[in-house]
Amino acid sequence: MFSYNDGSRLYATRFVIIFTDGLMAASRELKTQADHLRSFSNMIVATVGVGSSVKHDHLELISSDFNSVLRPAANSFWKYLQSSLAVPACLACKVDFGGEIRILLENSGSLTHEVFKEGRQFIYTLIEKLTSINLTNVNGSVDIFSDEVTETIPLQNISGIDYKLGGLSIVEHTEKKVNQSLLLQHIKDIGMTSSSTSFIIFISNGVFLDSHLIQTLKHSVNEKSIIVSVGIGEDTNWDNVEDLATYGYFVFSSDDAHLLARYLNKEMTTTTCT
């Protein structure tokens, strides 16, 4: 499938776009073929992460660069092509950075104290990495959701976090009163006053997130918001964690804090060409 002929327009930029969840990239043969494609002049190999979950590190192995790993969204894909095809001195491109990051950590009875600490450490690592990259024009918060409020996160433990993210609010979910849930109202409010994309990061082992709650949450999200799911603990219900995410592209594990920070930084960077 990956055979390629030069053709007559050798000056033109050529694109090969591979839609995959990344598992196929574990094949040494595919990696060799992707390397061969990139050896052609003016060739760009891009990957679009599809499926219930995505192996981002595998996609990077067969892509021309980190920015060529894309989520399965037509608008995002078009922005990438527009930027890649821009000709210097002919098109003017402006780069903007901004958006919202809302982190929600589960603390229900289905999590042990150790698993909750794992989720809390993920937040610390993620925010420290985001702070080192770029948090300018980013509006963020860290909240806890549960069947009852039991603990808060001391944000002062993270250098600069008080200035960067402001105060901590608590979100409570009452299973018997889903329609009146503060969690659902909180989700509905996210992104309502911003023109930028909002990222809602749910950190959970997935057990508390039954199918009814997942669908209710997804239907409550503003159309400009994207749900990111992070699975924590050894007994994670990955089916629920994957179902909650807007795309399988936005499913991560507790080991992926640095990886998620990189992708958030990329996703909140917008290039507009005229």
Q: Which of 31-35, 134-138, 244-248 has the lowest mean pLDDT?
A: 134-138
Which among 85, 119, 148 is the end of a domain?
85
Q: If you average pLDDT over every residue of the chain, what do you get?
A: 78
User: Are 166 and 191 contained in the same domain?
Assistant: yes
In this predicted model, what pLDDT tens digit does every residue of 175-228 receive, in sequence order?
544 444 567 777 777 766 666 788 999 999 998 888 888 888 888 888 888 999
* Res 78: pLDDT: 84
If one compares 125 and 107, the residue with the highest pLDDT of the two is 125
User: Are 113 and 35 contained in the same domain?
Assistant: no
* Res 139: pLDDT: 75
User: Are 80 and 158 contained in the same domain?
Assistant: no
Indicate if the pLDDT at residue 75 is higher than 90: no
Give dist(CA 100, CA 221) in Å, integer: 13
User: Are 81 and 106 contained in the same domain?
Assistant: no
Would 115 be classed as within a structural domain?
Answer: yes
* Res 219: pLDDT: 85
The encoded tokens of residue 85 equal 């095809």
- The arithmetic mean of pLDDT across residues 97-120, rounded, is 85
Q: Are 152 and 120 in contact (CB under 8 A)?
A: no
User: Are 130 and 232 contained in the same domain?
Assistant: yes
Number of domains in the chain: 2
Indicate if the pLDDT at residue 153 is higher than 60: no
User: Are 53 and 104 contained in the same domain?
Assistant: no
Would 91 be classed as within a structural domain?
Answer: no
User: Are 111 and 225 contained in the same domain?
Assistant: yes
Please tell me what DSSP assigns to residue 269.
E
Q: What range does the domain containing 140 cover?
A: 96-270
* Res 243: pLDDT: 94
Q: What is the CATH number of the domain that holds 42?
A: 3.40.50.410
User: Are 122 and 53 contained in the same domain?
Assistant: no
**pTM, full prediction:** 0.81
Sign of CA pseudo-dihedral 161, 166, 167, 171: negative
User: Are 24 and 78 contained in the same domain?
Assistant: yes
User: Are 81 and 104 contained in the same domain?
Assistant: no
Would 133 be classed as within a structural domain?
Answer: yes
What is the pLDDT confidence band of residue 269, given thresholds at 50, 70 and 90? confident
What is the pLDDT confidence band of residue 161, given thresholds at 50, 70 and 90? very low
* Res 27: pLDDT: 77
Would 3 be classed as within a structural domain?
Answer: no
User: Are 70 and 123 contained in the same domain?
Assistant: no
Nearest CA-CA partner of 146 in 96, 199, 197, 186: 186
Would 4 be classed as within a structural domain?
Answer: no
Give dist(CA 69, CA 164) in Å, integer: 28
* Res 193: pLDDT: 63
Would 60 be classed as within a structural domain?
Answer: yes
Indicate if the pLDDT at residue 238 is higher than 50: yes
Q: What is the longest distance spanned by two Cα atoms in the chain?
A: 67
Alpha carbon 170 to its chain centroid, in Å, reads 23
- The arithmetic mean of pLDDT across residues 131-159, rounded, is 63
- The arithmetic mean of pLDDT across residues 135-163, rounded, is 59
Which among 85, 113, 138 is the end of a domain?
85
- The arithmetic mean of pLDDT across residues 30-59, rounded, is 87
Would 181 be classed as within a structural domain?
Answer: yes
User: Are 238 and 145 contained in the same domain?
Assistant: yes
Which among 66, 85, 104 is the end of a domain?
85
> How many Cβ atoms from other residues are within 10 Å of residue 209's Cβ?
23
Give dist(CA 226, CA 246) in Å, integer: 6
Would 9 be classed as within a structural domain?
Answer: no
